Amino acid sequence: MGATGASLRAERAHPDVDVLVFGHSHVPWDSTGPRGMRLLNPGSPTDRRRMPHATYLTLTADDGALHDVRLHELPQRATGSRDS
């Protein structure tokens, strides 16, 4: 969902949403779309695909606001794993 076009599609599909957490691409993503929607993709903690690290996101949601959004990188697995 890296392109502005994809961000606009997400905002059109979910017009009443402030934050959209999505996955499937395995690509970590934290951005704000052109209309203000926060787009979060935690990546994948198990299958990094073409990414250099397996990842996940943590955050705090408090009183309608997000705080401490953080992308965590996991150490690489031993040689011989299916995505090394």
Q: Among residues 20, 22, 23, 21, which one has the least CA distance to residue 37?
A: 20
84 within some domain:
no
Beta strands in the chain (DSSP E): 19-21, 29-32, 38-41, 55-62, 65-73
Number of structural domains the chain divides into: 1
Q: What is the mean pLDDT of each run of 10 residues along the chain (84 residues)?
A: 73 94 86 92 84 90 94 79 52
Bridge-based pairing state of the strands 38-41 and 19-21: parallel
68 within some domain:
yes
Look at residue 67 in the predicted model and tell me its pLDDT.
Answer: 95
Look at residue 83 in the predicted model and tell me its pLDDT.
Answer: 52
Which residues have C-beta within 8 Å of that of residue 64, sequence separation ≥ 6?
Answer: none
Look at residue 6 in the predicted model and tell me its pLDDT.
Answer: 78
40 within some domain:
yes
Look at residue 79 in the predicted model and tell me its pLDDT.
Answer: 60
Residue 37 structural domain: 4-73
Q: What is the CATH number of the domain that holds 35?
A: 3.60.21.10
